[in-house]
Amino acid sequence: EAQVTQNPRYLITVTGKKLTVTCSQNMNHEYMSWYRQDPGLGLRQIYYSMNVEVTDKGDVPEGYKVSRKEKRNFPLILESPSPNQTSLYFCASGRDSRTEAFFGQGTRLTVV
Amino acid sequence: RKEVEQDPGPFNVPEGATVAFNCTYSNSASQSFFWYRQDCRKEPKLLMSVYSSGNEDGRFTAQLNRASQYISLLIRDSKLSDSATYLCVVKAYSSASKIIFGSGTRLSIRP
């Protein structure tokens, strides 16, 4: 089954404790991206990757890192999480940047 | 001004009604347009792409007006299962792979 898998689905952590949210897709997509969704602000792009070893900043990259060492994986790293990073995070992939995106089920992160 | 704007709603309409909502965008270089549907606490899912000539998929019709820079979604004979938030998505190739989501329009269909 074609899918984008994120883990964990739910996470509560403390300020400053490094964490990684994993994202994996099995569709051989070149394009992957991360979004956060906050009430009233909609989905905002954090980082995206056009292909392996190619990443770029989206609209809200501060406080986040990503890597794309393999085509299927695109982890999101929060080196020192802060409460303003409490949000619902979605990973997405697509054949390329022009076509539709397939989303993971989301990760609800709470930073206390 | 936001790059992509949608009326947040909520639109509350009776089952069987026709409902339409628009999405305006500010970047004239935008070249790809989509409508996504998002159910509460779930991931967005593609509803339909929006083509220049307009396109229809069953009860759903999407249209693009480049001159006025908006896209629209029309839902005919609405069903209870159409209740969701509808997100418009605009992609502009002039700035790498910038993808902008609207904040969404909430639609609630009542029996």
CA distance B72 to chain A (A): 18
| DSSP one-letter code for B95 | G
**Per-residue pLDDT, B86:** 96
Q: How far apart are alpha carbons B24 and B39 in whole angstroms?
A: 22
CA distance B44 to chain A (A): 6
* Residue pLDDT, tens place only, B17-28: 999 999 999 887
Of A41, A88, A102, the CB nearest to B103: A41
* Residue pLDDT, tens place only, A16-52: 999 999 999 999 999 999 999 998 888 999 999 999 9
Which phi and psi (to 5°) does residue A105 adopt?
-80, -5
**Per-residue pLDDT, B3:** 84
In chain A, the DSSP E strands lie at 4-7, 10-13, 19-25, 31-38, 42-51, 54-57, 65-66, 76-78, 87-94, 102-103, 107-111
| Residues facing residue B79 across a β-bridge | none
Whether A97 sits inside 8 A of B102 (CB atoms) is no
Residue contacts between A and B (CB atoms, under 8 Å) = 53
**Closest-CA residue in chain B for A105?**
B43
Q: How far apart are alpha carbons A61 and A100 in whole angstroms?
A: 22
Least confident of A44-48, A85-89, B4-8: B4-8
**Per-residue pLDDT, A78:** 98
* Residue pLDDT, tens place only, B12-71: 999 999 999 999 998 877 778 999 999 998 999 999 999 888 899 999 999 999 999 999
Question: In whole numbers, what is the pLDDT of chain A averaged over residues?
Answer: 94
N-to-C CA span, chain A: 36
